[in-house]
Structures are given as structure tokens and as C-alpha cells.
Amino acid sequence: MHWIRLLVLFTVASGPLSARAADPTAWSLDPVHTRVLVGVGHAGFSQALGTVSGSTGALLFEPGDWTSARLDVRVPLQALDFGDAAWNAAVLGPRLLDASAHPEARFVSDNVIASGERQARVCGTLELRGQVRPQCLEVTMNAVDRHPMPPFRRTAGFSATATLSRSDFGIDAWSTMIGDTVTLRIEAEALRDRSAAETFRTSSDPTPPPAGATTDAGVTPAAPGSNDIEAAAREAAESESESESESESESESEKEPTP
């Protein structure tokens, strides 16, 4: 099938391409390897620590272009665990998170500013307990590579931190016992997944103008399909490279579940 890939690459090289860069790669969060660590003051004596597993979401991201990144994440609050049943019941109850009425928190990015080759500030909105407030995350890209374990999925790994005020979200009960400042540490892995791009294609997205039409900015869009050809060529090249690497790795590795 090498001739098909060569034909696609030749078409891209010889045909007109959109001036707009190819769409960033779509990724879906791996809920097994994504965890949120929550810290909040306990009467001034210590930081109470809780964890949340099972977050889901989608990401658009290219390692060489932070500015094109987009993020939409949902965190299941019922999964929050402080290591004690009574603590959990109190935190998830109506005076604090009220998780029965508001079962998840959601973060949607709207601006990404690179602060280094592997670092960026990701800002957007956080919805928590029915309140929506601006929120920023300090994000570090740890690695983007093919996972060494079967099925050898292309994987991106990130670490992030954030700080918020719980009272900003109307969570102000027991203010003398529980601190107002909440710290978040996030460890996340995402798997390359084309279908994840659908998360960002909402009905509110503007309908693209027809080919040849001029937008308000005076830019003439490229004919439909030119960017698709560019993306297909890139995907074909990556697929061929990964297929060769995967065949080598499979002969050396036993097929076991990803840890």
C-alpha cells in the first residue's frame, strides 16, 4: 500500500494547500491515568488531601504550537475521596460541593499562552457547584510519544497546578474549620483520538464561507478539502512510521494491559 501513501504525498506537494495550518491533533483523556489531587486547609493544622479519578475530556494539541491548544474536561465529583467516609459525606453534601445536585466540575479553555517549550498557562472557565468563574492552569507537557505497552497508542502526558477560592463558587460553609484556598495538582494522560475533535464542533461554531468568498477580514478561504489532504498526508506519514516501530516493538514485548 506504499503507492497510496506516495500518491497522497505527491498530491499534497503538487496541489494548492490552504494557507491555514493543519488542524491540531485531537486527543481524549485517559481516565485511568488522569487524577486530580485536591488540598485545602484543615483548621490551620494541616492540608487535607483528596483525590479524584475518572476525569474525561478532549484536547486539541500540537507540541510545537501551544496557541492552537483547546481543552474541555469534566471531573466526576462523586469520585472525590479524602480517605474517610465521614469526610467524604461532608464535602460532597449540600453545604459544600452539593454533588448530588452538581455531580461534576467542568473546565473549558479559551486562551493558551506559552511560557516555554514545554510550559503554558491555560486559561478558561471553571464550572463548579452551578457557578462559572475564570480559572487558569499552569501546565507542563511531560512527553508526547508512542506508549511502550500494547496497543502502542500515541500518548501525551501533562502535569498541571491551579489555585482557587472556594467562596468564589458559593462554597463558604465552615469557614473557620476549612480554608478558603484550594490547591489543585493534576496528572493527566491523553490518547490520540480523531473522534475527540467532535467535542469542539458545536452548533454555535460559525458556518465556514464557501470557497472563493471573502470574509470580513478580507481573507479568501481555500477550497474545501485542501486542508484535509494536508492532514491526510501527515497522518499517512505518521501511520507508516508508527507501524514500522510497532511491528518491531511487538516482537520484543508481551501483550499485557497498560499499567
Under a CB-based contact definition with an 8 Å cutoff, are residues 105 and 86 in contact? no
Handedness of CA 200, 203, 204, 206 (dihedral sign): positive
Distance, in Å, from the CA atom of 115 to the CA atom of 138, rounded to the nearest integer, reads: 9
Please give the chain's pLDDT, 259 residues, in tens.
554 454 444 444 444 333 345 679 999 999 999 999 999 999 999 999 999 999 999 999 998 888 899 999 999 999 999 999 999 999 999 999 999 999 999 999 999 999 999 999 999 999 999 999 999 999 999 999 999 999 999 999 999 999 999 999 999 999 999 999 999 999 999 999 999 999 998 634 434 444 433 333 344 444 444 444 444 445 544 544 554 444 444 444 443 333 3
pLDDT the model gives residue 202:
66
pLDDT the model gives residue 238:
53
pLDDT the model gives residue 193:
96
pLDDT the model gives residue 208:
44
Q: 219 is written with which cell numbers?
A: 481573507
Could you tell me the pTM of the whole model?
0.72
Domain 22-201 belongs in CATH node 3.40.50.880: no
Under a CB-based contact definition with an 8 Å cutoff, are residues 184 and 163 in contact? yes
Under a CB-based contact definition with an 8 Å cutoff, are residues 72 and 57 in contact? yes
Q: 181 is written with which cell numbers?
A: 484556598
**How many helices (H) and strands (E) in the chain?**
3, 10
Q: Which residues pair with 114 in a beta bridge?
A: 120
Which distant-in-sequence residues (6+ apart) come within 8 Å of 108 by Cβ? 71, 72, 73, 124, 125, 127
pLDDT the model gives residue 228:
43
Q: What are phi and psi of 209, to 5 degrees?
A: -70, 155
pLDDT the model gives residue 254:
40
Residue type at 219 in one-letter notation: V
Structural domain boundaries in the chain: 22-201
